[in-house]
Every structure is written in C-alpha cells, then in structure tokens.
C-alpha cells in the first residue's frame, strides 16, 4: 500500500529513534575503541572530525527528505536482509578488531533501516550520506606510510621555495626545514593522509550540499579539492615556520600549532568556495554558463 503522507504525519520520531538506537547499540563500542587506538594517532586523527560531519549530514539529509511530501514504499524483506548482513559483518569485524569491516557494516545497517522506514527509492537519496562514512575507514599502516612520505616531501619542497621567495633564511633537508636557528620536522599530521582525507570529505560535502545541476561542475570541483588541500597544507607549514621564526619554538609547538589545524580546514573551505565562484565567473565570461548549469 502506497501512502502519500502529509507533513504532520511523517514518521520523524520513528526514523530518528531507529537510526539513533542502531548506532548507539551496535557502533558506539566500535567508535570508542577507535578513539582509544587508531584515532588517537597523528596519522588518522581525522576520524572524529569526519564522524561528526557524517552524523550531521545524515541528519541534514533526513530532515531534507521529511520536509517534503514523499510516497513511502517500505521494503521489509530487503531492509531486514541488509540489516542481518550488516550485523554479521559487524560481529566478524568487531570480534577480530578489523575496523574496516565494522565500519563498512554501518552502511548496511543504515541502508536497511532506510529501506524498512522509507523504501529503496528513498534509500537512493541517501547514497552520499552513506558513502561519506567510507572516510571513517582506517587505512593499513603500510599504505599510509607509502603515500604520506611523498606528500610530506612535496609540501616541504613547496614551503621552502615559498618562504625563500619571501626572503626568509630557510633551507631543507628531506622533510626537515631550517628557518633561522630553528629546525622544523614536517610531520604526518601536517602533510599526511589525515588532512587530505578530511579536506576531501569537507569538499565533497560542500559539493553535495550546494548540489550544482551540472555533473561536470561537481566532478571538476571534486578533482580540484586535491590541489586545494595541498595548498592548504603548504600554507599551514609556512605559517608554523613563521610563528616559530618570529615568536620562538615554544609558540610554534604550543597552542598556535594546534590552532593552525583548524585554520587549515577553514582555509581549505574558503579556497573551495573561491574556486567554485571562479568557475562560475569564467563560465560567464567565456559563455560556458549553460554547460556548467545544466546536465
């Protein structure tokens, strides 16, 4: 039976309660373990930030769907099949401390709940909200080390040349920068996968919230997030180097060092918005507006 529910009768309480209880009962222990282990390291400290953004976006998407009249077609069989499959994955992953499987099972459970409450056609509208949780998956240490080292060298190289162009006494040896009498190590947290993952997640979230009509415009922004995140990392390293040079090593390693991480994400978000606006301006200038505003 298909029912077009008016706004006042939409099952908000059921939807929010089911989603909240599933996360509380099944996945809080997993996230608690991640907080104590994997997310407590510099290389994958982006996890809590991505988790907070993912929960907010899931709520945002649910509210967006419930605020419009919808025809709900619950699929109990499909929903329970996904939930059972997700619980089986969860039990295997959690019992063996394989967090990749545990987090992947979250997607199955949430998708199953959506199918039971709203139906498969509504579940498709959640695709990005479910995909977003992929950024929570902790990568193996071997993969992180292999990818992080070239990124650190590239960030160190760019930071050295930028500060040298500004007439600062700076030299580089690998990933170690010497500015004046101070030596700074470009650590994983300053130029590794953690910042790239977080910035990519923030950028994709911006693209999905703005939701440009043109597919290619969204793809172009997604691709440009990588150089934007690299630029943000370079600016962060340069900022810390200048703080250390002018205010001393204690200032560079204290509160300002931690605060620079927040500045990094703010800078990246501003750059993403600026690049998006630049694409719009160039499209208007070269009469490509039609291409970038329609599918």
SS3 of the chain: CCEEECHHHCCHHHHHHHHHHHHHHHHHHHHHHHHHCHHHCCCCCCHHHHHHHHHHHHHHHHHHHHCCCEEECCCHHHHHHHHHHHHHHHHHHHHCCCHHHHHHHHHHHHHHHHHHHCCHHHHHHHHHHHHHHHHHCCCCHHHHHHHHHHHHHHHHHHHHHHHHHCCCCEEEECCEEEECCEEEECCHHHHCHHHHHHHHHHHHHHHHHHCCCCHHHHHHHHHHHHHHHHHHHHHHHHHHHHHHHHHCHHHHHCHHHHHHHHHHHHHHHHHHHHHHHHHHHHHHHCCCHHHHHCC
Is 190 considered catalytic here? yes
> Out of 111, 115, 190, 238, which one is annotated catalytic?
190
Is 238 considered catalytic here? no
> Out of 172, 217, 236, 238, which one is annotated catalytic?
236
Q: Looking at the annotation, which residues are catalytic? A: 190, 236
């Amino acid at each position: 039976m298909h029912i077009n529910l008016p706004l006042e009768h939409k099952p908000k309480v059921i939807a929010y309660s089911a989603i909240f209880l599933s996360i509380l009962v099944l996945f809080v222990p997993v996230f608690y373990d991640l907080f104590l282990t994997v997310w407590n390291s510099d290389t994958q400290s982006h996890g809590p930030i991505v988790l907070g953004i993912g929960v907010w976006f899931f709520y945002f998407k649910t509210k967006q769907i419930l605020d419009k009249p919808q025809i709900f077609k619950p699929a109990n069989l499909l929903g329970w099949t996904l939930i059972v499959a997700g619980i089986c994955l969860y039990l295997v992953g959690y019992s063996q401390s394989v967090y990749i499987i545990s987090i992947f099972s979250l997607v199955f459970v949430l998708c199953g709940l959506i199918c039971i409450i709203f139906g498969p056609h509504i579940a498709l509208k959640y695709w990005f909200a479910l995909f977003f949780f992929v950024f929570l998956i902790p990568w193996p240490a071997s993969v992180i080390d292999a990818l992080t080292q070239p990124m650190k060298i590239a960030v160190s190289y760019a930071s050295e040349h930028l500060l040298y162009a500004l007439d600062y006494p700076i030299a580089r040896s690998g990933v170690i920068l010497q500015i004046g009498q101070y030596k700074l190590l470009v650590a994983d947290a300053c130029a590794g996968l953690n910042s790239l993952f977080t910035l990519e997640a923030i950028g994709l979230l911006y693209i999905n919230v703005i939701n440009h009509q043109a597919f290619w415009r969204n793809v172009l922004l997604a691709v440009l997030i990588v150089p934007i995140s690299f630029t943000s990392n370079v600016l962060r390293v340069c900022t810390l180097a200048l703080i250390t040079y002018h205010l001393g090593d204690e200032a560079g390693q204290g509160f300002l060092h931690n605060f620079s991480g927040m500045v990094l994400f703010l800078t990246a978000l501003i750059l993403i918005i600026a690049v998006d606006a630049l694409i719009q301006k160039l499209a208007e200038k070269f009469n490509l507006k039609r291409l970038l505003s329609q599918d």
